[in-house]
Amino acid sequence: MLKEQIRRLAEELAPSLVADRRRLHRLPELSFREENTSSYLKARLDELGIPWQARAGTGILAEVRGRPGGGTIALRADMDALPIVEAGQPSYRSLNEGVMHACGHDAHMASLLGTAEILRRLSGAFCGTVRLIFQPAEELLPGGAAWMIREGVLEDPRPEAVIGQHVMPALECGYIAICPGRLMASMDELSVTIRGRGGHAAQPASNIDPVVIAAHVIVALQQVVSRQADPTVPSVLSFGRVIADGAINVIPDVVTMKGTFRTMEEGWRREAHVRMRRMAEGIAESMGGQCMFDIACGYPVLINEQRLTAAVTVSAREYLGADRVVEARPWMASEDFAWYGRSADACFYLLGTGHAGVVNPPSLHSPNFDIDEGALPVGAGLMAYIALERLGCVS
Ligand code: NI
């Protein structure tokens, strides 16, 4: 049976998956600058005899072709790392100090290379094409996904499905989490500048204090989330950076703030932008100051297409065992995989990479983040199985 063949190949390839992952982990690169990463992937694809083309700067579009006829399925891995100093001391610690694969994109790439090799070895056993999308810059707006799509990775022909996965340290290795519909939030970056008139802190009546205005704005904007949003639609507003560069006895002219707004519904997202801006500007004006409210729109809501996700869930149960496929809870992080779902049927699931028995493992984006590498053959084999099931070739 093809399922058993895939499982066996995935296990056989496990050492090379670990080697790929460690090699990539040692050489992390920041978003849009994944040159060495890209070179490594291209060399590996050449070794595997899989044709590829460069797309979107450092991105790669490769194809594993089976027998003639059949459809096209796309599989995606992201490539970039984060500006984090790796705290752990594994033998494969980052050699690029200050940059770290703390979001597991090294595992996504290694897993997809494994999937590619499995599919190439089975290319006589299926009809159709599996497209491999190695995408740069998931971590930094405007992201690499939209760029890859603009460069045609979902055209000629449009794939029937785009599948992606993301490592999840809180889920034990061997499991995946998946759900239809909304999985991840939209994300927008807010930059707020509040202008008053600075002066001596002992003479507030002579000044317009932007610090007090900013305090009101921060508190009031939370009401957009708590009082104006539909309580059944998750929304988050957080300001992580507030700069009032005065002194003990100096009221500054200006306060700047940066924050993030996330939600799970596009209509509400647009409306919330209008309401937040209006509220902040109104408060500042009523207190004699001015507010500039800039919104940089990030990734859209990630929605798993219902029918595809139901089918992928069935495939995952067959491949991993029914008890190893759990329901994902909506997650307020954001992912530019969401853009693929705007152009094609798409499904994104979470791959368990937690070590068994470890409670509260370091989270994604933590300097101590690491994975149970046993997840690599799981991810590689599962993606191969899902792709072949979607192509209708698994007997
Ligand atoms: Ni990530």
Domain 2-185+300-390: give its CATH code: 3.40.630.10
Q: Give the Å distance between the CA of 104 and the centre of ligand 1.
A: 6
Q: Is 357 strand, coil or helix? A: coil
**88-113: average pLDDT:** 97
| pLDDT (0 to 100) of residue 19 | 98
Share of the chain above pLDDT 70, in %: 99
Cα of 64 to ligand 1 centre, how many Å? Answer: 25
Active centre residues (catalytic): 80, 138
Report how far ligand 1's centroid is from the alpha carbon of 290 (Å).
37
Q: If you measure from the C-alpha of residue 278 to the centroid of ligand 1, how many angstroms do you get, rounded to a whole number?
A: 33
Q: Cα(27)–Cα(345) distance, rounded to whole angstroms?
A: 33
Q: How far is the CA of 336 from the centre of ligand 1 (A)?
A: 9
186, 178 contact by CB (below 8 A): no
Sorted by where each begins, the domain ranges of the chain are: 2-185+300-390, 188-297
At 328-373, the pLDDT tens digits run 999 999 999 999 999 999 999 999 999 999 999 999 999 999 999 9
Bigger pLDDT: 100 or 1? 100
Neighbours of ion ligand 1 (CB under 5 A): 103
Distance 384 CA to ligand 1 centre (A): 21
Ligand 1 mean position to 197 CA, how many Å?
42
Residue 196 has what pLDDT?
98
At residue 207, what is the residue type?
A: N
In angstroms, what is the span from residue 260 Cα to ligand 1's centroid? Answer: 17
Q: What is the pLDDT of residue 18?
A: 98
Q: How many CB atoms are closer than 10 A to CB 286?
A: 10
Q: What pLDDT was estimated at residue 393?
A: 67
Question: In the chain, what percentage of residues exceed pLDDT 90?
Answer: 98
Q: What is the pLDDT of residue 392?
A: 87
Residue 287 and residue 213 in contact, taking contact as beta carbons nearer than 8 Å: yes
Cα 133 to middle of ligand 1, angstroms: 15
Which amino acid, residue 322? A
pLDDT (tens digit per residue) in 131-173: 999 999 999 999 999 999 999 999 999 999 999 999 999 999 9
Distance CA 71, CA 91 (A): 42
Q: What is the DSSP string of 217-263?
A: HHHHHHHIIIIIS-TTS-EEEEEEEEEE--BTTEE-SEEEEEEEEEE
Q: Which pLDDT belongs to residue 394?
A: 54
- Report the distance separating Cα 173 and Cα 158, nearest Å: 33
Q: What is the pLDDT of residue 1?
A: 85
Cα 287 to averaged position of ligand 1 atoms, centre (Å): 42
Q: What are the b/e assignments for 317-340, b being 16+ CB within 10 Å? A: eebbeeebbeebeebbebbbbbbb
Across the chain, mean pLDDT equals 97
Cα 185 to middle of ligand 1, angstroms: 14
| Class in CATH terms, 188-297 | alpha beta
Residue 344 has what DSSP assignment? Answer: S
Give per-residue pLDDT as tens, 70-94.
999 999 999 999 999 999 999 999 9
| pLDDT per residue as tens digits for the range 261-301 | 999 999 999 999 999 999 999 999 999 999 999 999 999 99
